[in-house]
């Protein structure tokens, strides 16, 4: 691993256990499972893939309704996304989410927002794209982000400002 640090490598390695369904009522994990299996079925193609994708699209619709969330089926989401409280999360279809991110309730990613790996977004935050959030950044609760966020920074407020570089 010449030229890379352990932190850079871990930023690209998804922790799939974060999406594991642990109990009967895990709506965030079940919503992610439906999305992932829909995408896999579509990629497989053929008659079985098409039938499976229809099933998983309905399953996704069910969990989206339960969570009152809107995450488009074709959104690019890295592995290990944690939806701790999945109520009211809105993610634009052009958004891209890196690995091992955590998104709390009532978060909106409006427009082509790009999240790096290990980004944590507090409850009620709004990210109004186009913008990019660097790896290991933290977005405070109820922040309104309208500009790029550098890697490792913590932003908060309306409009969001860097409070910890």
Please identify every residue annotated as catalytic.
Answer: 85
* Structural element, H or E, at residue 29: helix 27-44
Alpha helices in 45-99 (DSSP H): 46-67
Task: For the beta carbon of residue 17, count every other beta carbon within 10 angstroms.
Answer: 8
Cα Rg of the chain (Å, integer): 16
- Structure-block tokens of residue 105: 């309730």
Q: Which residue has the tokens 């098409």?
A: 50
116 HSE (CA, 13 A, CB side): 19
- Structure-block tokens of residue 122: 């507090």
- Distances in whole angstroms, Cα of residue 9 to Cα of each of 16, 50, 137: 15, 35, 16
């Amino acid at each position: 691993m010449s030229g890379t640090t352990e932190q850079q490598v871990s930023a690209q390695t998804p922790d799939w256990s974060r999406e594991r369904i642990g109990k009967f009522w895990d709506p965030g994990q079940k919503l992610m499972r439906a999305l992932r299996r829909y995408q896999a079925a579509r990629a497989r193609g053929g008659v079985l893939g098409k039938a499976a994708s229809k099933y998983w699209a309905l399953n996704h619709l069910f969990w989206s309704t339960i969570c009152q969330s809107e995450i488009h089926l074709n959104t690019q989401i890295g592995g290990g996304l944690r939806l701790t409280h999945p109520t009211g999360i809105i993610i634009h279809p052009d958004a891209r989410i890196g690995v091992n991110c955590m998104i709390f309730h009532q978060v909106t990613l409006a427009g082509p927002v790009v999240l790096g790996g290990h980004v944590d977004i507090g409850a009620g935050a709004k990210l109004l794209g186009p913008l990019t959030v660097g790896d290991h950044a933290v977005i405070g609760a109820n922040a309104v982000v309208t500009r790029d966020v550098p890697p490792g920074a913590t932003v908060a407020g309306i409009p969001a400002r860097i409070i910890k570089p």
